[in-house]
Structure 1
Amino acid sequence: MSDNDQPRTPVHLVVLLHGLYGAPANLWCLEAEAAALHEELRKGSGESGESDVERSTDDADDVSAPAPQLAVLVAKSYVGQRTWDGIDVNAHRAADEIDEEIARLDAEGKDVVAFSVTGYSLGGLIARALIGHLHTRTPSFFATHRPAAFSTIATPHLGVLRYGSWKNTAVHAIGQHLFSRTGRQLYLLDTDKALPKKGNNRPLLTVLSDPEGIYLTALRLFPSVTILANGVNDLTVPYPTAAIVDHDPYIEHEAGAVCVEVDEHNIVTRHYLHETEVDEVEAVVEASSGDSSPKQPGVSPARALPKAVRPWLPPVFFLPWRGPLRYALFPLIPFLLPLVLTFVAVTFTLHSFQSAERIRLHSSSGTRRLLHGLTHPTEDNDDEGNGKDANEAVDDDNDDSSSTGNGAETPALAPQSPGTQPLLSTEQRAMIRNLSAVPQLERVVAWFPAVFNSHATIVARNANVPRFAFQTQGIPVVREWARRVVVAGNGVIGKED
């Protein structure tokens, strides 16, 4: 039998996108858990043969196996300071990697039938830009590679939030000048100056949330859309922007005003006022968490957690030794802090110049378009840009087009202190409405009350390092994510068959 007569193997391609200043190694746990679960399901189905999980990394050996297969591609084209270059620019880089991976699989006699993408932190915004870019192709990328699962984990969907405290105001004033083009996009200070001013001078995050735009059109194609957020202690991406909501019901958990129940995956199943009978004011987590804990036989019931003690300093200040030596770094902090701040300032300045040069080269390549399809490609809407792609030009100067109106706040579950809830702009409230209207969107809330910053814990980012063993708390959350992704991919491949 010739090679042309050999049956082609269907593949579910899962793309993983890391976040700001990140690297592929940050997502090792997602890659490992997806592979392990896929293998478990394959063995459970009674199939025989070698492992059918293929890891798409530079040093991975090719693994031949029965259909269907799982291929995991961890993006590596925008590591480190390259994440500063813009959400849309990095989406283009990720798209190039996907094309190369599909071509490689095709040469091996494998067809990418199902396509899933997951973004962690900033990677979630890159994922939203990526699927819109892929959908603008003619024919659409998804005409051949059927969408299966779209997920974001601890992603700032609303950008950087503004609160009423003086500390947040100071951080906001400084932060909007950091991280080059990506920073401006996160603070809603960017505009697409290559497009006509009428209706198009909007921040990228607003464009990504346009209900008539190509980005939400592409998102609606995915039968599974999961938004994972930390309910507490995420100092990098707070709950409201990660969960795409206008109110944080967990803000008073440290005061004991809110009781939270979680399942065996460390996922919130419900929350309610501590001082009130559960059956009187039980708050089933629908808008906040999507009520998305697995309903499977044999799953242990949800449990109420005792009050946890959060560390008062981040783990970096504690040395990996026992006894007094664990605190040996403390006396040196007053001397080290100025050196660290100076190093950070110099590094950030250098990286900003380097990022500006990369953006200039990217914009002048003649083959790139930094914004894609502000409306559905079949529509002709002058006010929204009639689906036309943006030109390549990128101006490093900013237009401050963001609004800072407070608006009315949703009534809180627990009594609130001034400044605890985000002050959302009109644009951010529109993002919440538009994204929440996606019918298949589910919110999942992870709960890690005993860690200083839960942003890394939710993906067990450094759990393989003994010093950060506490991040193993995130592995059950990653397993639940893997279950959703693998099952969605198998469902798409099953329909193809």
Structure 2
Amino acid sequence: MESTGGSVSADHLCVLVHGLWGNPNHMKSIAKALRATHSEDKLYILAAKRNSGSFTYDGIERGGERVCLEIEEELELIKSKGGNITKLSIVGYSLGGLVARYAVGLLYAKGILDQVEPVNFTTFASPHLGVRSPLRGWYNHIWNVLGARTLSMSGRQLFTIDDFRETGRPLLAILADPESIFMSGLKKFKRRTLYANAVNDRSAVYYTTGIAKTDPYTDTSKIKPNYIKGYEDVVLDPANPVSPLVPKGGPKTFGSVANDSVAYLKQAPLVVALAIFIPVGIAAFLLNSVVQTFRSSRRIQLHETGLAGIEIEKYRMSLWIKDIRGTVEDVYENLNSSQKQSYLAPSDDEGDDALDEEETELLALERRQSHPYAPTLALTPSQFSMISALDSVGWRKYTVWIHKVRHSHAAIIVRSDSARFSEGHIVLGHWLKEEFLI
């Protein structure tokens, strides 16, 4: 991929990690923006490639092991050419942000973060809390239970229904455990920055990409966005992202009712198209899921037996610091975006019989702290714990409001050369000018 690589005089390595169903080419705009800002003599760029395509189904930990190996190999390659990397930055997009966090833990445990200075750790639209929608009742079972079984191991981990290495906890909870190698590695970076889409992200909604208990963007008619000067209409001011908007009173006029009717009629063809094509898409999605899960299970078996080119014993150290694509992708995103979020009810009696005493007390505390104007989402106890732990290391959080497309997940990093994704260039410009330390 163009814009990657660098000269032997560069002392700073920046690693780019793509997301689910992705490939290094998805990170092309980020690489180009980095190179336009920093010369080959200053910055060496590596776009990770071992997790391309359906390999992202194989689980976050295997993806993290592959990325860690690529970083080690690149450091050795640069050294063999006479170079000397002294600083390291990592950028993760979507699922790549979680894969990168796992790789960081391995780099920490292997002592590599003691050999280089960890500088920037950045994620764009990464589901740090998983993709489980805040739902209750049968909606929860339809999406969160069935959906978790369509993306092989990565799906189980993203929906937090896995038991990671027989710890009795999901992988994402381990990634956010304060005593883990992953959090210890993350803390070593000089700057941790995240960018989260406010609206129209059909792959990873705001609460999980922004590591938040609430979502003020569920009804945009009630808020007024406040933008950072110089990045208007795209990057919101983190100190005061939105202000409440006073609704205009009075009954609807004949004209407003007529306008609503016209708007509905304009959407009618879309409704008809969805009614026809969604069942076909779902069938293709489920069929592909079966095929890819089978293939993924075979790759996992090869990986675990050391026959996939990675000596896994080098990456299976203790987790604890004290011990030291097209239609298919569209259907998944459409199903995900169709879910409506639920909130914690004021009552403790919500059928949480499966929770232990500590988890029940945690939910009760979150209910008491929930504000009527910004109600707390119906997250799981482990997700609330993740938020608390991740916030404790300190993040510079930026919310992005993409207007030109109905799918902001790809636009936030300008995933392809399209005029519709132009607002993503403003996001990258903000990141490079205001956040990225060289």
Q: TM-score interval w.r.t. the shorter chain?
A: 0.7 to 0.9
Asked if the contact 2:215/2:374 (under 8 Å) is kept, the reply is: no
- Determine which of 300, 306, 311 is the counterpart of 1:365: 306
Q: Does 1:147 align with 2:118?
A: yes
Instruction: Provide the rounded CA distance (Å) in 1 between the counterparts of 2:146 and 2:155.
Output: 11
After superposition, give the CA deviation of every residue in 1:93-114 in whole Å (9 maximum; x if it has no partner).
Answer: 1112112222222222211111
Instruction: Provide the rounded CA distance (Å) in 1 between the counterparts of 2:404 and 2:373.
Output: 21
After superposition, give the CA deviation of every residue in 1:157-187 in whole Å (9 maximum; x if it has no partner).
Answer: 1112332376565222321111111111111
- Give the aligned CA root-mean-square deviation in angstroms: 3.0
Cα 1:348–1:154 shift into 2, 3 Å: same
Instruction: Provide the rounded CA distance (Å) in 2 between the counterparts of 1:339 and 1:222.
Output: 46
Q: Which amino acid is 2:433 matched to?
A: R
* CA displacement at 1:437 relative to structure 2: 0.5
3-state SS, counterpart of residue 117 of structure 1: strand
Cα 1:413–1:31 shift into 2, 3 Å: farther
Asked if the contact 1:15/1:74 (under 8 Å) is kept, the reply is: yes
**Structure with higher helix content:** 2
Instruction: Provide the rounded CA distance (Å) in 2 between the counterparts of 1:371 and 1:355.
Output: 20
Instruction: Provide the rounded CA distance (Å) in 2 between the counterparts of 1:251 and 1:157.
Output: 19
Q: Which amino acid is 1:470 matched to?
A: R
> What is the aligned partner in structure 1 of residue 107 from structure 2?
134
Q: What's the TM-score once normalised by structure 1's chain length? A: 0.68
Q: Does 1:233 align with 2:212?
A: no
Cα 1:334–1:209 shift into 2, 3 Å: closer
Q: Does 1:258 align with 2:208?
A: no
* CA displacement at 1:249 relative to structure 2: 1.9
Instruction: Provide the rounded CA distance (Å) in 1 between the counterparts of 2:168 and 2:82.
Output: 45
Q: Which amino acid is 2:126 matched to?
A: T
Identity of counterpart residues, as a percentage? 28
3-state SS, counterpart of residue 29 of structure 2: helix
- Determine which of 43, 67, 77 is the counterpart of 1:94: 67
Asked if the contact 2:57/2:153 (under 8 Å) is kept, the reply is: yes
> What is the aligned partner in structure 1 of residue 293 from structure 2?
352
Q: What does 1:311-330 align with in structure 2 at a 5 Å threshold?
A: none
* CA displacement at 1:356 relative to structure 2: 0.5
- Determine which of 168, 175, 178 is the counterpart of 2:147: 175
* CA displacement at 1:340 relative to structure 2: 3.2
* CA displacement at 1:344 relative to structure 2: 2.3
Moved more, 90-99 or 12-21: 90-99
Q: Which amino acid is 1:267 matched to?
A: V
> What is the aligned partner in structure 2 of residue 244 from structure 1?
211
3-state SS, counterpart of residue 9 of structure 1: coil
Cα 1:75–1:426 shift into 2, 3 Å: same
Asked if the contact 1:262/1:447 (under 8 Å) is kept, the reply is: no
> What is the aligned partner in structure 2 of residue 374 from structure 1?
319
Q: Which amino acid is 1:31 matched to?
A: A
Instruction: Provide the rounded CA distance (Å) in 2 between the counterparts of 1:76 and 1:22.
Output: 9
Instruction: Provide the rounded CA distance (Å) in 1 between the counterparts of 2:379 and 2:276.
Output: 39
Asked if the contact 1:262/1:268 (under 8 Å) is kept, the reply is: yes
Q: Does 1:24 align with 2:6?
A: no
Cα 1:337–1:187 shift into 2, 3 Å: closer
> What is the aligned partner in structure 2 of residue 480 from structure 1?
430
Instruction: Provide the rounded CA distance (Å) in 1 between the counterparts of 2:73 and 2:274.
Output: 47
Cα 1:402–1:415 shift into 2, 3 Å: closer
Q: What does 1:249-288 align with in structure 2 at a 5 Å threshold?
A: 249-253=216-220, 256-263=221-228, 264-265=230-231, 266-269=234-237, 270=240, 271-275=242-246
After superposition, give the CA deviation of every residue in 1:255-278 in whole Å (9 maximum; x if it has no partner).
Answer: x211111133321112111129xx
Asked if the contact 1:30/1:482 (under 8 Å) is kept, the reply is: no
* CA displacement at 1:451 relative to structure 2: 3.0
Asked if the contact 1:116/1:149 (under 8 Å) is kept, the reply is: yes
> What is the aligned partner in structure 2 of residue 298 from structure 1?
none
3-state SS, counterpart of residue 356 of structure 1: helix
Q: What's the TM-score once normalised by structure 2's chain length? A: 0.77
Q: Which amino acid is 1:472 matched to?
A: S
* CA displacement at 1:149 relative to structure 2: 0.3
> What is the aligned partner in structure 1 of residue 281 from structure 2?
340
Cα 1:485–1:12 shift into 2, 3 Å: farther
* CA displacement at 1:235 relative to structure 2: 2.1
Instruction: Provide the rounded CA distance (Å) in 1 between the counterparts of 2:8 and 2:302.
Output: 40
After superposition, give the CA deviation of every residue in 1:221-253 in whole Å (9 maximum; x if it has no partner).
Answer: 101100211122222111111111111122221
Instruction: Provide the rounded CA distance (Å) in 2 between the counterparts of 1:425 and 1:155.
Output: 18
Asked if the contact 1:10/1:113 (under 8 Å) is kept, the reply is: no
Q: Which amino acid is 2:222 matched to?
A: A
Q: Which runs of 5+ in 2 are unaligned?
A: 1-6, 248-262, 325-353
Q: Does 1:157 align with 2:132?
A: no
After superposition, give the CA deviation of every residue in 1:90-139 in whole Å (9 maximum; x if it has no partner).
Answer: 111111211222222222221111100010010000011001001111xx
> What is the aligned partner in structure 1 of residue 35 from structure 2?
35
Q: Which amino acid is 1:446 matched to?
A: V
* CA displacement at 1:364 relative to structure 2: 1.6
Moved more, 336-345 or 83-92: 336-345
Instruction: Provide the rounded CA distance (Å) in 2 between the counterparts of 1:402 and 1:117.
Output: 36
> What is the aligned partner in structure 1 of residue 407 from structure 2?
453
Following TM superposition, the consecutive aligned residue runs of length 4 or more in structure 1 with deviations greater than 4 angstroms are: 165-169, 327-338, 369-372, 401-407
Q: Which runs of 5+ in 1 are unaligned?
A: 1-6, 39-51, 54-66, 277-311, 314-323, 380-385, 388-400, 490-497
